[in-house]
Amino acid sequence: MEKERALSGKIGARCLELEGELESLILKVDCLETETEKERGKMGARCRDLEGDLESLILKFDSLETEVEKERALSNKMVVKSRELEGEISRLQRENQYPKPELVIKQDTELALAGSKFADCQKTIASLSRQLKTLATLEDLLIDTDEFSRL
């Protein structure tokens, strides 16, 4: 019986010891659950922040995508306009490469008229040159006569 009492005392002591450990573990579990809840709250807030950032980035992406499409359309219009202008330049170069017959006739007529006027000018210059020589000779004669009469 004594053995039973001693064994019962040991079991009682062990029960008290285990109850203490259980209480300690329950406190630890409560602490860990509290910390877990806090971390879940933080993670939830962080997740909501990230979702907001993601939505903002999606909106920016959509905006940039729209802008890129507009730029592509404008670029395509510029390419078309550039090709039209290149074609216009080529056409003008071809047209100006070979003068039109009516322009050639007009140029020839104007050139002949200019040549005729130039020839008239040369005749006038030659005539004026002769007249100046005659005047110079006459002036020399008058000077000689004046010097002769003074003597």
**Under-50 pLDDT residues of the chain:** none
Domain membership of residue 46 (yes or no) is no
Domain membership of residue 71 (yes or no) is no
pTM over cut 0.75: no
Residue closest to 131 by CA, chosen among 143, 139, 142: 139
- What is the structure's pLDDT at 149? 66
Gap between the Cα atoms of 134 and 37, Å rounded: 128
Domain membership of residue 146 (yes or no) is yes
- What is the structure's pLDDT at 106? 86
- Would you call 93 helix, strand, or coil by DSSP? helix
Tokens of 102: 């009516």
Domain membership of residue 147 (yes or no) is yes
- What is the structure's pLDDT at 72? 95
Domain membership of residue 111 (yes or no) is yes
- What is the structure's pLDDT at 99? 66
The count of structural domains within the chain is 1
Domain membership of residue 135 (yes or no) is yes
- What is the structure's pLDDT at 28? 95
Distances in Å between the alpha carbon of 146 and those of 83, 132, 135, 139, 142?
Answer: 85, 21, 16, 10, 6
Containing domain of residue 109, as a range? 100-151
